[in-house]
Structure 1
Amino acid sequence: MIIMQNTNAIQVDHLTKKFAQQVAVDDVSFSVKKGEVFGLLGPNGAGKTTILRMITTLLKPTNGNITIFGHDIKTESTLARSMFGLTGQYASVDEDISARENLMIFSRLNGLSRQDSKLRTKELLKEFSLENSANKSLSSFSGGMRRRLDLAVSLITQPALIFLDEPTTGLDPRTRTQMWDTIRNLVAHGSTIVLTTQYLDEADALADRVAVIDHGKLIKIGTPADLKHQTGQATMRLNIPDDNNLIKAENIIGTELQSQPNVINNNISASFKQSEQVTNALAQLKAAKIKITDLSVQEPSLDDVFMALTVGKN
């Protein structure tokens, strides 16, 4: 494997894909650093899967350039493909044979000798906690076990770059958490991960940086923390026990936080952008001798960012 020094794992420049008159991907550019988890987020039909298919050489771009560890996928496609593994949301394994047999077959298909295939199969069964089920029919496997096996298959050649296309879709919470641990372990051992997911909490927990795609365009890119700070709004919630002070408290909060409060019974919630706004509101409530209880401040989530960047955009 030839990995050029001082290069990004992936470099995408002015990537465009047209289907007849429809522009599915519109002049998208970004880079993925070595050793990071990079998340591609977007609504269904936004173009993220098309981008992933072009980077992995499954789909030819209309325009633009892509390099993987410095190697152009157009002129060095075979070398570029040898550097990554791809795992989709639907298992590619053979349902009629065991996990051990699947791994042996795929190892041989990837050019390993019979002895090396046995060794790699043993390693992967242990790494993905499939040793006790290695010889069982896949019909007895849970969704999580099948997903782990599919990921194991993609890692037979120990690629430096791994594409995970919605790897935890449909998994139960416990298995999802196990997959998160597996992904973190891959990164800890030097892998670079490109992740597409419909679960924003997953991107928030795993990704070093995320790119938000909508209508084929790159809308925003940055760390989850940066995007939440730039786009999302935090929310203050509190309770006003005295009904007589409710309207006055609502007016103070609306003025100081510069947003329209939401009032349900005696509970008031309102969004804000600067923490000083909360401090000022609380000072004004205290000056007005308005008693408050159950005060809480909720930081913006990646869901808030996603909604702000994509809902209603044309």
Structure 2
Amino acid sequence: MSEYHTPVMLNECIEGLDIKPAGTYVDVTFGGGGHSREILKHLNKDGKLLAFDQDADAKQNLLADDRFVFIDQNFRYMKNFLRLHDAVPVDGILADLGVSSYQFDQAERGFSIRFDAELDMRMNQQSTLNAKEVLNTYPEAELHRIFGIYGEIQNAKSLANTIVTARLNAPIVTVADLKNAIVNRIPRGKENKYLAQVFQALRIEVNQELEALKEFLTQSASVLAPGGRLVVMSYHSLEDRLVKNFIAKGKFSGEVEKDFYGNDNKPFDSVSRGAVTASEEEIKDNNRARSAKLRIAVKK
């Protein structure tokens, strides 16, 4: 499991869930099973944990425990599968968003700028859309939108144009192909940051990450019992903004809606004042914790 990925802010996540020993909990991003293993330690024989992960590699970390149920699906289908397992309502939901260290370290998955490999980036290996296809088939305007919104890249328009021009000569198939195609667009001295933004944009598009997150958050409000906890950890501002807005307003943009009596019509109250961040000590041991933001909410 340690090879797979060290769980970030493990104690803070467990505290945030405020676990009832006989409760029903959901870990929607099972990965290496670090958070799930810790949740099970806090449950008695009547407690139950359901875990989701769409990545086939996560199955090598399954836990041999009668209280544990693994569901090999994207968390955007959480509500349907919890119903299928007769597990609604639940007492707490944990989501640790983003890509695991293990996925980054598997060169052939094409997630990392460190290795030359085919541009894949699929978290679900059964999915048909990969990064190669995005780069070689999407219209210029669509690439501009992805790089501008998902990568927050300053020169997104000229980057999209450069890619569309480059692919006329030869398809962009590998990480090296992409780096060579866009080399003149990368700001000097900021190579790693820029490429990380490009890769982030492609990964979000390939895996429909923001759409899946919105669907998951909306469903969490309907499957949690009153007093149940929602604990979400994100690693970039796009995700964190969605989580923050949903907890604060019950929706992703606009103002909080009011009921007939003028009360806020939103499903959650925030437990943490703002986002919880990792300690300096943890960041020293696990660099991935540096960008993590943890938000905790309670169902009204």
TM-score by length of 1: 0.25
Q: If each structure's strand is expressed as a fraction of its own residues, which one has the higher value?
A: 1
Q: If each structure's helix is expressed as a fraction of its own residues, which one has the higher value?
A: 2
